[in-house]
Chains A and B, each alone.
Chain A
Amino acid sequence: MTLSTGPVDASNFGVLWNGYEFGTFWAETNSFTSTGEHMARIDAESNVIDSQYFDRVLDQWDSIAWSGSGYGRALTRVVDGYEDIYFMLLSPAGVQAGPLVRLTDHRSQSTSYWGAIAVLAAMNAGQGYGVVWQDNRTGERQLWFARLLPDGTIVTPPGQVQLTNTVYGIGQSSDLVWTGSEFMAVWINGDATGTGEGKIFGSRISSSGSVLETEQITPGPLDLYPKIAWNGKGFGLYVSGYNGTSNGYFVSVDCNCTTDADGDGVLPCGGGDCDDSDPTVAPGLPEICDDGKDNNCDGLVDCNDPTCVQGGSPPGEIGNVRFPSDKTTIAWNSDSKATRYDVARGVLGDLRDMQNFRWTNCFVSRTTATSAADSENPSPGTGFYYIVRGRAKTCLLGTWGSTLSDSSLHGCP
């Protein structure tokens, strides 16, 4: 069965099974230029159900993942000569079902000609995603990770997490898998001579997006193309190795299921402890709503966890946000119901680009004051904007503003 109608970019296609049908995507090309992205739904008998065409050139390096109720799609898009990683929610029919969310900031997180090669992995149904990508913001290609809510919002903290810090950039291949309780990312680690030789390294990443451990998996000297999967008990890794001759290797990577590193009584494998370095984190523990951790391992931190929802009348919209005396101290009116305040900050250029507040980050969390100082100056030619929210109790949250979609913000947890 032929799906494509033209030449296909051989590095930009994939397939997944969502429980009742296949979703597959590919990019068609004209020489080295993408002429559009395609997605098709295929039933279990190999019949095409329907297909979608994303009329957008220069999108590349797609990765899709099934969330339980739709697809998440990560892609690289070039705008005004810059490459950025974006997230897009697709309906079960493969139709765009949410706004495009930019995950990287091309002003300071430059990617490269070769694309940022995002790999998306879905967590348990309704929990969201993890995504890894590569960029050159440090001067060498390194691997980054972000934990995403179901709508593509980056969970902050921890925000963007740098997985590698090699002297020479990592190889272009990387992969990511979700085990039911944590992520595993793998990549090619270049050696100190910069000759392109490589060993496969991997990082276990908790459900809340924190790195648990990083270690070398294969001996090298020239290992390439790592692809990893999970079978409920351990990882299976495919890797191509060269040491005089070329071989394809299967590598079984067992999860350490005999050691409870943090002593909380829960082992880290197969839906177990999502952070085996922290005894306040394990399935079954109550969510502590103000410690910045996913205590009960459901993938949701603090007030994002439904167990932290509190009843009552929340604070109203905070008014009169201003700079009363100088250009570094922002102030706002108090609210009779608010006991603490959150301040989120964004860049005006991002607001223009995205036409929403999704690139807004938590600036100050849970302050009792009605002012906050910002000593950082925006880049020349742009500016910061600020929005303020009141909160009562721990998680009785006010609004960021009546015209905003509160849940879409990179808000304070």
Chain B
Amino acid sequence: MTRRVVVGAGGPGRIAWADRSWAMVLSSSSTDGEVALRVDSRGQPLSPQTQYVLGDDQLMDHVSDLERSG
């Protein structure tokens, strides 16, 4: 069974599970850079502040990698 939720503007992204939520690094259409965000296990954004702009460099074909620490 799958469940699909829009979380960003498209383009390459990375995903990792961290502390009872999914963390992702995605392309951002608003900054032409990258954003980091977290969603719950159903894909709903965590509140209140869950999205962080990582950079405003011109977006290439790839985004940063992502990994959970201990």
Q: Do A and B come from one complex?
A: yes
Q: Which residues of A contact B (CB under 8 A)?
A: 10-11, 13-17, 19-20, 22, 24, 44, 217-218, 224-225, 227-234, 236-238, 240-242, 246-254, 256
CB distance from B28 to the nearest CB of A (A): 9
Partner of B4, one of A22, A228, A250: A250
Task: Specify the chain A residue showing the minimal Cβ separation from B1.
Answer: A254
Task: Tell me if B22 and A229 are in contact (CB < 8 A).
Answer: yes
Task: Tell me if A228 and B15 are in contact (CB < 8 A).
Answer: yes
B10 at the interface (CB under 8 A from A): yes
B49 at the interface (CB under 8 A from A): no
Interface flags for B13-32 (1: CB within 8 Å of A; 0: not) read: 11111000010101100000
CA distance A236 to B24 in the complex (A): 10
Given contacts A11-B62, A229-B22, A248-B6, 9 further A-B contacts (CB under 8 A): A44-B69, A225-B12, A238-B15, A250-B7, A250-B24, A250-B43, A251-B5, A251-B43, A252-B2
CB distance from A188 to the nearest CB of B (A): 12
Contacts of A241 in B (CB 8 A): 10
Partner of B26, one of A17, A24, A238: A238
Contacts of B7 in A (CB 8 A): 238, 248-250
Q: Which residues of B contact A (CB under 8 A)?
A: 1-17, 22, 24, 26-27, 39, 41-43, 60-62, 65-70
CA distance A232 to B27 in the complex (A): 27
Task: Tell me if A247 and B9 are in contact (CB < 8 A).
Answer: yes
CB distance from B40 to the nearest CB of A (A): 10
Contacts of A10 in B (CB 8 A): 60-62
Task: Tell me if B13 and A227 are in contact (CB < 8 A).
Answer: yes
Contacts of A13 in B (CB 8 A): 65
Task: Specify the chain B residue showing the minimal Cβ separation from A233.
Answer: B41
Q: Which 7 A-B pairs have the closest CB atoms?
A: A246-B10, A248-B8, A231-B17, A238-B13, A238-B15, A240-B10, A250-B43
CB distance from B37 to the nearest CB of A (A): 9
Task: Tell me if A249 and B15 are in contact (CB < 8 A).
Answer: no
Task: Tell me if B5 and A249 are in contact (CB < 8 A).
Answer: yes
Given the known inter-chain contacts A248-B6, A249-B7, please indicate yes or no for A14 contacting B65, CB distance below 8 A: yes
CA distance A152 to B5 in the complex (A): 38
Contacts of A237 in B (CB 8 A): 15
Task: Tell me if B65 and A251 are in contact (CB < 8 A).
Answer: no
Contacts of B41 in A (CB 8 A): 231, 233-234, 252
CA distance A230 to B24 in the complex (A): 13
Contacts of B3 in A (CB 8 A): 251-252
Partner of A238, one of B24, B65, B67: B24
CA distance A248 to B68 in the complex (A): 21
Contacts of A252 in B (CB 8 A): 2-3, 41-43
CB distance from B6 to the nearest CB of A (A): 5
CA distance A16 to B14 in the complex (A): 12
Given the known inter-chain contacts A16-B67, A17-B69, A236-B22, please indicate yes or no for A230 contacting B4, CB distance below 8 A: no
